Structure 1
Amino acid sequence: MSDLKTIKRALLSVTDKSGLVEFARVLASNGTELVSTGGTAKALRDAGLDVKDISELTGFPEMLDGRVKTLHPVVHGGLLHRREDPAHVAAVEAHNIGPIDMVVVNLYAFEKTAAKPGVELEDLIENIDIGGPSMLRSGAKNFEDVAVVTDVADYAKLTEEMAANGGALSKATRWMLARKVFATTAAYDAAIASELEKRAATENDLPETLRVIAKRETSLRYGENPHQRAALYTDGSQFGIANAQKLQGKELSYNNLVDLDACWGLASEFEETAVAIIKHTNPCGVGQGNTVLEAYSRALEADPVSAFGGVIGINRPVDAAAATEIAKLFVEAIVAPDFSEEALQIFAAKKNLRLLKIQPKAVSTVLKQISGGYLVQDDDHIRVPASDLKVMTARKPTDDELKALQFAWTVCKHVKSNAIVYARVKDGFGQTVGIGAGQMSRVDAAKFGAVKAALPLAGTVAASDAFFPFPDGLEAIVAAGATAIIQPGGSVNDAKVVEAADRLGVTMLATGVRHFRHG
C-alpha cells in the first residue's frame, strides 16, 4: 500500500498570511476543497478562490467574538479519525463527518504581543490561541492520514512534492510536519506560561520555573572559533538583534552577533544622537552629536586604530552624509533603526558589509549558562540622575565636567570590568578619550585607558565601574590628566581616597551604584 495521501479537503486558518494565496491556489489546482475562517477566508475570496466557511462545514456559527469556531466535533472528528479503521470510518459516517486531510494553521502572535511595551494583560489574554493549537495537535496526532502545516517556509517544498505526486504527500513528509507541530505548540505554551508567571511574580521575584524556548533561526558557519558549532535562536518577537532585518552583506557570524548586541545596547542608552564602535564586545569609541555624522566622527576620533574591523551601533536612522564617511572605514557590521535610500546606495558598494535594521527591545532579564544550570539576573538598566550624585570632595564639578561625567558613567557600564573610561565634552556633546577594559587591577585599567587615548587627556574626566579600594587608582587617573572622577563610593578607604582627591585638586562624585560587567 502506498504511503502517499491525496489532499482532498484542507482547512486553512492563519495569522501570518504571507504566501497563503499562492499555496491555496496550488491546493485548489489539485482539486482540494478549501475550508477557512474569518480573515483567512476573506483573503482567499479576495484572491478569487472558492472557499467554504467553517460554519458551513460544522453547521454551527462562529461565536463569542471568534473564540469558538473550530472547536467542534465535525472539525476534530474529520482530523482524528483513522481512515484504515472500519470502526472510525463508520462512526464519522454515522454523524455525517467528512475527512479533513490537511490543516494549514499558524498561531496568534502571542510572543510579539507580549514583547510590546506596556501591553495590558487583557490584550495578552486575547492573543492566546485556543482553536489553532487544538487543530494542530489533532492533525499531528493523526499524521498517518493528515498533513499539518504550521510554517510558511514549508509551502514551497510541499508545493514541489505535491506537483511530483499528483497532489499527494508522503508519510515521511507528514511525519516531519507532525514533529514540527509539537515543537511549535510546546514553545507556544511555554511562552504563555512564562509571561503569565512573570506578570504574577512580585517585584522581588524571578520566575520560579525558567523556560528557555527559542526557535533556530539559522545555523552559523561556526562559533567563537572555527572548531565550535553555532546557531542563532530567536524568541519569536520582532525585536532586538536576533530578529533584526539584514539589509545587505555576507552571513553574520557568532562574534558579529555578540558584538552587535553590545554596541546596540550602548548606543541605545543615550537620548542624544549617539554612535558606539565596538571591538570584541568592548567599546573603543563612543560619541554624541547633533547628527549621526558628528557622533560617528567623535567616536572614530577616540580610537581610529581599534575601530578598524569593528562593528557600529547607531541610535538614529543613518543618512547619506554619515554613510559616506563610515564607508571609508573597514567595518564588519552596522546596526541602526533605519537607513535612508541614499545611505543604502552608498553602502551597496561594500557588498560584504552587514547592515541590520533593528526594532528596539527593552531587556528585562539576562540569562547566562553555567555548568549544571543557569544564572538569571535583572538587566543593569539603572540610571543615576544628577540630583542623586554625591559630591565627595571640596571642589564641585563644573557644568561641563558634570555632563562629561554622566556620559562617561553610561559608557563605563558597557565596558568589561575592571573598567576606567576617560571622556570629555566637545561642543556640548560627550566623547570618549581612552578606555581601559577588562584589567585585573583597577590601577592597570586606569593606566591602560590612558595608553589607549588618541586624544589629549588633559582636562578629561574619568569613570570607574567600582569603588577605589586605595588612592593609587585615583592617583593614576589624575596623573593621566583627568580633573574629575565619578565612581560608586562605599570603600572602607573612601576617606583616604577623598583626601587624595582634595590634595590633587580634583572633584569626585559618588553614584552609590556599581556597574561590574563580567561577561
Structure 2
Amino acid sequence: MSDIKAQYRTVMDDHFPSEVTLKVGETELVYRKRTWKLPDSQGELVEKGLRYGENPGQEAALYELVKGGLTVGDVELIEAGNGLVSGLDESQMLQAGKHPGKTNLTDVDGALHILRYLTDRPAAAIMKHNNPSGAAMGADIAEAYHKAFMADLIAAFGGAAVLNRPVTVEAAEMMNDLYLEVVAAPDYEEGSLDILKKRKNLRILRIPRMDELARYRNARFLDIKSLMDGGMVLQTSSVNPIKTPEDLLPARSEHQGKVYEPKRKPTQRELEDVVFGWAVEQGVTSNSVIYVKDGCTVGIGTGEQDRVGVARIAVDKAYSKYQNRLAWEKHGLKYDILLAEIARGTKEASLKEAIDQEAKEAKAGLTGSIMISDAFFPFRDGVDVGLAQGVSCIAHPGGSMRDWESIEACNETDPPTAMVFTGQRAFKH
C-alpha cells in the first residue's frame, strides 16, 4: 500500500526536449518547456517540470509559446508573450504545495476559458477534471466563490478554485474550510495568504496577466488533438460571440408553411442569465445541458451521448446538490453522511424527510432557472425535461429540423416558457 501511495508523491523526470518547434506551412511556432525550482519532500530545491501527466507514470511537460504567430485564413491566433498558465514561474507560485501536475494546471486553464467571458463582474469557477462543479457571479468575490461552492459542495472537494478578482480575507476563510488542490487569482489582499497557507499542500497561484483577462475574450489558439495512431487534428479554437443579450437571436422556425415563435419574450433577468450560462457552457464537456439561475449554476450535465439523457442527469444532479446544500446549512453535514448517521441511529429520520420535502417543493431551485444546451435539441423530449421542472427560459443554438416542436413545447406551458437561439454550437471534447 505504501508503494501505491508513493506514486502520487513522486515528481517524475521527464524526457521531453527543452524546446519544441512546430512548423505549420512556412510558419514556425517555438515552444519552451516550463520548469520550476521548487523544494522537494526533503526541502531541497529541485528543478523539474510537471509532477506527472494525467496519471502517475505518464511523463508530461508544459510548454509556453515563446516565438511566432500563426494566421489561418483570416483568423490570427494568439502570439507569443501572452502566457497565463504556461507563463507561471516560481514568483507566481505563492505556495507551491505539492509539485503541480497536469490536471491541476489544465483545470485552472479550463476556468480561465470560462472567466474570460465574465470579466465585468466578480466571478468564480471551481473546476474538477476539466469541468466546472460550480460557477457563479456575485456582488463581490467572496459571494461569487460561496455561490460556486454551494452549487456543488461535494465535487468542489479537491478542486481548483479560480477567481477573477483579488482574494479577500472573507473569501480565503471560506476556502480554508474546504480541501482544495489549487487556488488561483490575479492577486491576494493583505491577510488572505496567511489564511490560505495554513493548508501546506495547497497550491496558491497568482496568474500572470489575469488582470488583463478581458483582452483574451476573442483570442484564438491552435488547438491540437493527438490521435492514438500518432496522427493529429489541428483546429482553431472556438470563441464565444455572445457578449450581451443583444447578441442573442429570437427563436423562430418554419414548418409546412407555418412560422413558429415563442409566445413570451425573455425578461432582462433571464437574458442576463443566458449570457452567463452560455459563458459557462464554453468550459463544459459535450454533450452538455446546464441549468443556471441568478448568475449561478444549478445543475451541470456533462459528456453524455444523448441530449435528453444529459438533460435528465443535470436535473438529478441539481436535486442531489440541493439536498447536500440543505444538509450542510441546517446540520453541518453532507447529505450522505446524514443518511449514514440516521442508519446508525445517531440522527432522526425526520431530518432527511424534511430535507427531501424542501428539495421537492423547491424543485431543487430549477423553477425559474434557464436551461442551456450546447447544441440544438433534435427532438422536444430534451426540452420537456426542463419544462417539467419549471424552467422559465431555454437557450440553445437553434438549427434543428424540429425547432418548431421545441418552440411549441414552450408555448404549451402556463405561463409560456421563453426561448432564444445563440446561433452558435459550443461543443468541447
* Same fold flag (TM > 0.5): yes
The secondary structure found in structure 1 opposite 2:191 is helix
| 1:344 Cα deviation from its structure 2 partner | 1.0
- Corresponding position of 2:171: 322
Q: 2:246 aligns with which of 353, 364, 387?
A: 387
Letter aligned with residue 398 of structure 2: G
Letter aligned with residue 226 of structure 2: I
2:291·2:371 contact (CA, 8 Å) conserved in 1? Answer: yes
Task: Map Cα deviations across residues 253-289 of structure 1 (whole Å, 9 max, x no partner).
Answer: 1111111111122123202110001110111101111
| 1:212 Cα deviation from its structure 2 partner | 4.4
- Are 1:338 and 2:190 an aligned pair? no
Q: 1:282 aligns with which of 120, 131, 141?
A: 131
Q: 2:93 aligns with which of 218, 223, 246?
A: 246
Q: 1:495 aligns with which of 397, 401, 404?
A: 404
Alignment of 1:106-505 (within 5 A): 208-209=25-26, 211-218=28-35, 219-236=49-66, 237=81, 239-244=83-88, 245-248=92-95, 249-270=97-118, 271-358=120-207, 359-360=209-210, 362=216, 363-371=219-227, 372-384=230-242, 385-392=244-251, 393-425=262-294, 430-453=295-318, 454-455=321-322, 456-504=365-413, 505=416
- Corresponding position of 1:118: none
Please report the TM-score for the alignment, with normalisation by the length of structure 2: 0.69
Letter aligned with residue 233 of structure 1: Y
* Distance in 1 (alpha carbons) for counterparts of 2:134 and 2:377: 24
* Distance in 1 (alpha carbons) for counterparts of 2:124 and 2:427: 22
| 1:214 Cα deviation from its structure 2 partner | 1.7
- Corresponding position of 1:4: none
* Distance in 2 (alpha carbons) for counterparts of 1:253 and 1:217: 12
Task: Map Cα deviations across residues 396-442 of structure 1 (whole Å, 9 max, x no partner).
Answer: 112211111221111112111111110111xxxx1110100111111
1:276·1:285 contact (CA, 8 Å) conserved in 2? Answer: yes
| 1:480 Cα deviation from its structure 2 partner | 2.6
* Distance in 1 (alpha carbons) for counterparts of 2:401 and 2:51: 50
Alignment of 1:37-56 (within 5 A): none
* Distance in 2 (alpha carbons) for counterparts of 1:356 and 1:209: 37
| 1:233 Cα deviation from its structure 2 partner | 2.1
Divergent runs of 4+, >6 A? none
* Distance in 2 (alpha carbons) for counterparts of 1:366 and 1:346: 39
| 1:246 Cα deviation from its structure 2 partner | 1.1
The secondary structure found in structure 2 opposite 1:486 is strand
**Greater percentage in helix:** 1
Q: Determine what percentage of the aligned residue pairs are the same residue.
A: 37
The secondary structure found in structure 1 opposite 2:296 is strand
Aligned length: 315
* Distance in 1 (alpha carbons) for counterparts of 2:222 and 2:148: 27
Inter-CA distance 502–209: structure 2 relative to 1 (3 Å threshold): farther
Letter aligned with residue 411 of structure 1: V
* Distance in 1 (alpha carbons) for counterparts of 2:142 and 2:247: 33
1:484·1:507 contact (CA, 8 Å) conserved in 2? Answer: yes
- Are 1:515 and 2:426 an aligned pair? yes
Give structure 2 stretches of 5+ with no counterpart. 1-16, 36-48, 67-80, 252-261, 323-364
Which entry has the higher C-alpha Rg, 1 or 2?
Answer: 1
- Cα RMSD after superposing both structures: 2.1
